[in-house]
Chain A
């Protein structure tokens, strides 16, 4: 019927209902298309009201399937016109193309696309200019807050496992820590906690705290290795890597929340996100550089750290095989089973509930390379990290804890 609506004013008119927007009354009108606009004529009125096409808006974008339209016009604010006719909507969408679905959707999507572009630009800027907002914010945290955070982390990680303490072992460890700490250039002294977890690990927490497992000491061939690991973790602490990780985790969860329109509830469990922290290669290199510097200033040979990384790289090779054997994952690691080192890396694959990921073992595959870099340092006069007596005392720091652990195991078996 209306195959060529643009040619002539439509002879046909449509039944519609019009409201003036002042009361909830509506009057029947005859609606027709004219060259100047949409014409509406109520019975008993001499002249039709005309709304120009560009002034029109519809309640919904007009689609091919639309069978009715609720129309208003900026020329008569508040008033509405409702016409139930598919012919009418088809003609209207030809007369006023800006009412079509595509046009309106583009208009709606524009702000979103603009924000996306802005976010992309910010991300690009952060990446290009090497900005690290999380690091900056971490730097603003007052020292007491950082120390407090670190204590909380250490507390929650050590509460299910025995911590190691013997008087002479502690004295030896404190001596080594103080020797490194004094030359580290840090704001506060480092504090080291040794735990018996049955796996090889060490990591820094906020507020210059370091957690080290028994195996770091017992597997080491010399006190220099332990000193190297400590110096490396101090490096992380000095660079505020743990604090930065926490800030980033909070920021990420906030961003997730923002992106999902507030429907994920991620804000509620920031804690869970903390479990996924691990350091980048850049962060590891920074920590290694600090380690080398600290060791040199403390006149301890960097060979210990290099040896340690060498040993780690071997474990990693074996670890790949251990991973394929799922049975081993849940085994409790006993001293005997641990001798070949295979189970050790299997143990490291166990998902223990830690705030920080295994720092040392997850940094592969470049342990070998790191060992080489450290060895490439110019030689200097070095003294052993600890005397032989002190070293033996340190090696025994977990002997009581071990007994506690055995007791616990026995109790569990019964």
Chain B
């Protein structure tokens, strides 16, 4: 395990040391959480999630000492209640009211829906930032807290205004946008009283992105071509049949197969790109004179994604703690440092009051781990 890190990162003996100690008893924890969640009508899930996080955090060892997660189930629960009653319920009631007031197909309702989407996209940005801030503030190492010191609105605004441009540029804004957002997050990040810094540009991402984009286009074109050919051949052959028998079962199965094949091919390309991006971002994330390193691989990401998907499906989602741990193990084992911060000089940062959990993020299904 340890050799793995050093070969992965190229850090020498004096570099800060990162290690993963795989948590035990995750399967029994998964089932306990599941049963208790059902018995308590889902309310325990916030406490269950917290216990899982505690295990994950303490599996990460920096200089041999574990990270500590200090968040509580109560905070997550209150955060959820807050968002449910202050954000979600009003949104739901307003859109319901608008549908009846304006009529479902009216101009007024369309305008309302657009305005709602604007609000929701903005809230997604707020949610990502707040969830990150909450987790950092609840993470300690040697008693020192992490934090995120900027404003959620700045992040949310960038997240929001780049979204239409992302669509207009057919995705080509993507690498720039991701870099920009990561830049805001990392530069706002603190451990104790010391800042992280982020120096990545999106330029090195673009050559790979071009391959991904063209690959995606080719895959779409080939799938489209094959399906058009198959269906038109079938329609010509069965011109006299009733509408529901014009296309044969075999053709339908082949079409599904082609879709699945194309989807997997694109998944491989996307994993290849994501691994590169992760490594690029890590290399350009610095803290107190040290830099992160990572060497994720496309193959590794695909393997972990597919095996995790199978575990999730066959356990009906109950084993999600196992899935999370496997993902984190893969990432942490392939991460490391070059250089070593002078930890003894890092003092506790100013206390932030973040009493509520990450409700907004949960409401929009954003969960990094």
Chain A residues engaging chain B, CB cutoff 8 angstroms: 17, 19-26, 59-61, 63, 65, 68, 70, 72, 78-80, 82, 84, 105, 108-109, 111-113, 115-116, 119, 145, 148-149, 152, 155-156, 250, 254, 257-263, 265, 267, 270
Query: A21: nearest residue on chain B (CB-CB)?
Result: B143
Nearest A residue (CB) for B74: A111
CA distance A267 to B89 in the complex (A): 8
> A267's closest neighbor in chain B, by CB?
B92
Q: Which one, B50, B80, B140, contacts A261 given CB within 8 A?
A: B80
Q: Is the Cβ of A152 less than 8 Å from the Cβ of B100?
A: yes
Taking the closest CB of chain A, its distance from the CB of B305, in whole angstroms, is 20
Partner of A79 from B41, B43, B143, B359 at Cβ < 8 Å: B143
Question: Is B66 within 8 A of A23, CB to CB?
Answer: no
Closest beta carbon of chain A to B114's beta carbon, Å? 16
| 4 residue pairs, one from A and one from B, having the closest CB atoms | A112-B40, A21-B143, A25-B344, A112-B43
Using CB atoms, name the residue of chain B closest to A147.
B100
B52-85 contact mask (Cβ, 8 Å, vs A): 1 or 0 = 0011011000001110110001100100100110
**Docked complex Cα distance between A260 and B68 (Å):** 28
CA distance A119 to B42 in the complex (A): 12
Contact pick for B88, options A68, A111, A262, A263, CB 8 Å: A262
CB-contacts of B21-61 with A (<8 A): 21, 24-25, 32, 36, 39-48, 50-51, 54-55, 57-58
- Contact assessment for B47 and A108 in the assembled complex, using a CB-CB cutoff below 8 Å: yes
Instruction: Give complex CA distance A21, B96 in Å.
Output: 51
Residue in A24, A119, A258 with the greatest tally of chain B CB atoms within 10 Å: A24
- By a CB distance below 8 angstroms, the chain B residues around A17 are 64-65
Complex contacts, B48 vs chain A, CB 8 Å = 108
B178, chain A: closest CB distance, angstroms: 25
Query: What A residues does B204 contact at CB under 8 A?
Result: none
Q: Taking the nearest CB of chain A, how far is it from the CB of B73, in angstroms?
A: 6
Give the docked Cα–Cα distance between A24 and B67 (Å): 12
C-alpha gap A145/B96 in the complex (Å): 11
Q: How many of chain B's residues have a CB under 8 angstroms from any CB in A?
A: 59
A270: min CB distance to chain B, Å: 6
Decide if A112 touches B58 in the complex (CB within 8 Å).
no
Contact of A112 among B44, B68, B69, B96 (CB under 8 A): B44
Given contacts A23-B144, A148-B101, contact A109 B42 (CB under 8 A): no
The answer to whether A112 and B36 touch across the interface, beta carbons within 8 angstroms, is yes
Flag whether B227 is at the interface (Cβ < 8 A): no
| Contact B96–A70 (Cβ < 8 Å) | no
Contact across chains for B25 and A70 when beta carbons are under 8 A apart? no
- Tell me whether A23 and B362 are in contact (CB under 8 A): no
Q: For chains A and B in complex, what number of residue pairs have CB atoms within 8 angstroms?
A: 146
> What is the bound-complex CA distance between A270 and B88, given in angstroms?
13
Residue contact B54 to A26, C-beta cutoff 8 Å: no
Report the Cα distance A155→B343, complex, angstroms.
Answer: 69
Minimum CB–CB distance for A246 against chain B, Å: 9
In whole angstroms, how far apart are the Cα atoms of A341 and B1 in the complex?
A: 75
Whether A26 pairs with B142 at a CB distance below 8 angstroms is yes
In the bound complex, do residue B42 and residue A259 qualify as a contact, i.e. CB atoms below 8 Å apart? yes
B44 adjacent to A109 (CB under 8 Å): yes
Contacts of A72 in B (CB 8 A): 143
Residues of B that sit less than 8 Å from A by CB = 21, 24-25, 32, 36, 39-48, 50-51, 54-55, 57-58, 64-66, 68-69, 73-74, 77, 80, 83-84, 88-89, 92, 96-97, 99-101, 103-104, 140-144, 191-192, 343-348, 359, 362-363, 365
Given contacts A17-B65, A108-B51, contact A261 B42 (CB under 8 A): yes
What 17 new A-B contacts, CB under 8 Å, besides A59-B58, A70-B65? A21-B142, A22-B347, A23-B346, A24-B141, A24-B144, A24-B192, A24-B343, A78-B348, A82-B66, A108-B44, A111-B43, A111-B74, A112-B39, A116-B41, A259-B41, A262-B80, A265-B365
**B47 adjacent to A112 (CB under 8 Å):** yes
CB pair B365–A59 under 8 Å, yes or no, is no
A113 surroundings in chain B (CB, below 8 A): 39-40
Q: Contact partner of A24 among B103, B346, B359, CB < 8 A?
A: B346
Residues from chain B with a CB closer than 8 A to the CB of A80 are 68, 140, 142-143
State whether A59 and B41 are in contact (beta carbons under 8 Å apart), knowing that A148-B101, A261-B46, A262-B362 are contacts in the complex.
Answer: no
Known: A23-B345, A59-B66, A108-B51. A156 touches B104 (CB 8 A): yes
CB–CB A109/B36 < 8 A: yes
14 CB contacts below 8 A, A to B, read A19-B144, A23-B192, A23-B343, A23-B345, A24-B141, A24-B347, A68-B21, A82-B65, A105-B32, A108-B48, A112-B43, A257-B84, A259-B42, A267-B88
Residue numbers in A under 8 Å from B100 (CB-CB) = 145, 148-149, 152
Q: How long is the Cα–Cα vector from A78 to B89 in the complex, in angstroms?
A: 39
A contact residues around B44 at 8 Å (CB): 108-109, 112
Give B62's nearest chain A residue, CB to CB: A24
What residue in chain B is nearest A159 (Cβ atoms)? B105
Residue ID in chain A nearest B50 by CB atoms = A108
Is A23 within 8 A of B80, CB to CB? no
Q: Which of A22, A70, A72, A155 has the most CB of B within 10 A?
A: A70
Give A84's nearest chain B residue, CB to CB: B64
For residue B344, which residue of chain A has the nearest CB? A25
Q: Measured between C-beta atoms, what is the minimum distance from A211 to chain B in Å?
A: 17
Instruction: Pick from B96, B143, B343 the residue with the most CB of A within 10 Å.
Output: B143
Are B363 and A262 in touch, CB under 8 angstroms?
yes
Please name all residues of chain A whose beta carbon is closer than 8 Å to the beta carbon of B83 when the two chains form the complex.
Answer: 262
Select A68's contact among B66, B73, B343, B344, beta carbons within 8 Å: B66
The residue that B348 contacts in the complex, of A22, A156, A260, A270, with Cβ under 8 A, is: A22
Complex interface: chain A residues within 8 A of B143 (CB): 19-22, 24, 72, 78-80
B residues within 8 A CB of A115?
40-41, 43
Given A261-B46, A267-B88, A267-B92, A152 and B99 touching (CB < 8 A)? yes
- The answer on a CB contact under 8 Å between B101 and A23 is no
CB distance from A57 to the nearest CB of B (A): 10
**Closest beta carbon of chain A to B367's beta carbon, Å:** 10
